[in-house]
């Protein structure tokens, strides 16, 4: 499971992982349907949990199709999904651990300041955010007030504000990753930096393959997908947010046991 982060490059990384010969696509495949890309994620452990385990497993290859794929490749195959809201949703970790405790968890994290700004730009690009960046940050806590508790109290509840207007809150990575570490253990989680991935995608994909226990195929990788264009963040705002998020990054580095390129 590739669990995050939103606006961190998960789409690009997921489709790069699909290029590895031992990784198969979710069902139904774009090879047999008129759709542009393979299914990336099904958002089961966050927004679609009420549809049940049978619905979730309907996206996974059958035993027969797995056997066929393994015969073609000559080695064991894997299947995965990328739903970047999983890391932030308050119930996703425990739901995933209950149903798929042996899953391996991939996390791709971007400079939290730039992730925050890119998240806002994405909403503005879709005409879904009426507020300017600074105003949206100022409104964030009032928009999110009580939403996490509603999600915990009612498994069928969906919060647009929690998923889509939590610009700065979602960038406090360590607060959301702790639950995954507690439930899955550090040995089942691989945390990568978006900046490392885009600078040297083959090296990061090699690291992913080793973590997943599969062979790595050197293929063209690192295409930027879902990029949000437009004007950049002001230097003053970037410096202020970097200072505000510095302690979160320091805690994150202690949790994952490595330095991150944006610190």
Q: Is 223 part of any domain?
A: no
Q: Is 261 part of any domain?
A: no
Measured distance CA(247)–CA(233) in Å, rounded? 21
Q: Is 133 part of any domain?
A: yes
Q: Is 41 part of any domain?
A: yes
- Tell me if the bond preceding 28 is cis, omega within 30° of 0: yes
Within 8 A by CB and 6+ apart from 28, the residues are 39
Q: Is 240 part of any domain?
A: yes
pLDDT of residue 126: 79
CB 8 within 8 A of CB 108: yes
10-17 vs 201-212: helix crossing angle, rounded to 10: 60
CA dihedral 140→248→119→206, nearest 10 degrees, is -160
pLDDT of 244 > 60? The answer is yes
- Residues 145-175: tens digit of each pLDDT: 999 999 999 988 999 999 999 999 999 999 9
Q: Considering the chain, what percentage of its residues have pLDDT values greater than 90?
A: 86
Q: For residue 105, what is the enclosing H or E element? A: strand 105-109
Domain count, the chain: 1
Exposed / middle / buried, residue 156 (Cβ in 10 Å: 0-12, 13-18, 19+) = exposed
Cα dist. 150→9, 60, 83, 146, 175 in Å?
A: 29, 30, 21, 6, 19
CB 196 within 8 A of CB 12: no
pLDDT of residue 220: 60
Q: Domain range for residue 249?
A: 10-218+231-256
Q: Is 70 part of any domain?
A: yes
Within 8 A by CB and 6+ apart from 220, the residues are none
Structure tokens at 105: 């968890």
**Among candidate residues 63, 17, 78, the one with its CA nearest the CA of residue 202:** 17
More confident residue, 234 or 223: 234
Q: Is 225 part of any domain?
A: no
- Residues 41-59: tens digit of each pLDDT: 999 999 999 999 999 999 9
Looking at residue 4, the DSSP 8-state letter turns out to be -
Q: Is 160 part of any domain?
A: yes
Mean pLDDT of 185-200: 96
pLDDT of residue 34: 67
> Residue 70's domain is classified under what CATH number?
3.40.50.300
pTM: 0.92
- Residues 93-147: tens digit of each pLDDT: 999 999 999 999 999 999 999 999 999 999 998 789 999 999 999 999 999 999 9
pLDDT of residue 217: 87
Within 8 A by CB and 6+ apart from 201, the residues are 16, 221, 222
pLDDT of 218 > 80? The answer is no
């Amino acid at each position: 499971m590739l669990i995050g982060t939103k606006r961190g490059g998960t789409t690009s990384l997921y489709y790069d992982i699909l290029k590895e010969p031992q990784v198969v696509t979710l069902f139904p495949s774009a090879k047999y349907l008129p759709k542009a890309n393979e299914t990336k994620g099904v958002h089961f452990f966050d927004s679609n949990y009420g549809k049940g385990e049978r619905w979730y497993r309907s996206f996974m290859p059958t035993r027969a199709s797995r056997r066929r794929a393994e015969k073609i490749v000559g080695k064991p195959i894997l299947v995965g999904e990328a739903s970047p809201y999983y890391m932030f949703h308050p119930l996703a970790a425990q739901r995933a651990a209950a149903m798929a405790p042996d899953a391996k968890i991939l996390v791709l994290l971007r400079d939290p300041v730039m992730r925050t700004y890119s998240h806002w730009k994405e909403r503005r690009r879709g005409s879904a955010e009426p507020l300017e960046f600074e105003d949206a940050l100022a409104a964030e806590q009032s928009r999110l007030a009580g939403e996490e508790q509603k999600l915990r109290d009612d498994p069928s509840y969906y919060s647009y504000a929690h998923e889509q207007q939590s610009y700065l809150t979602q960038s406090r990575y360590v607060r959301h990753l702790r639950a995954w570490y507690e439930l899955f253990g550090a040995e089942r989680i691989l945390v990568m930096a978006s900046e490392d991935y885009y600078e040297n995608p083959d090296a990061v994909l090699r690291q992913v393959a080793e973590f997943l226990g599969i062979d790595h195929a050197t293929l063209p990788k690192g295409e930027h997908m879902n990029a949000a264009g437009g004007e950049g963040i002001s230097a003053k705002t970037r410096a202020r947010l970097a200072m505000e998020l510095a302690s979160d990054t320091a805690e994150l580095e202690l949790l994952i046991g490595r330095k991150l390129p944006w610190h």
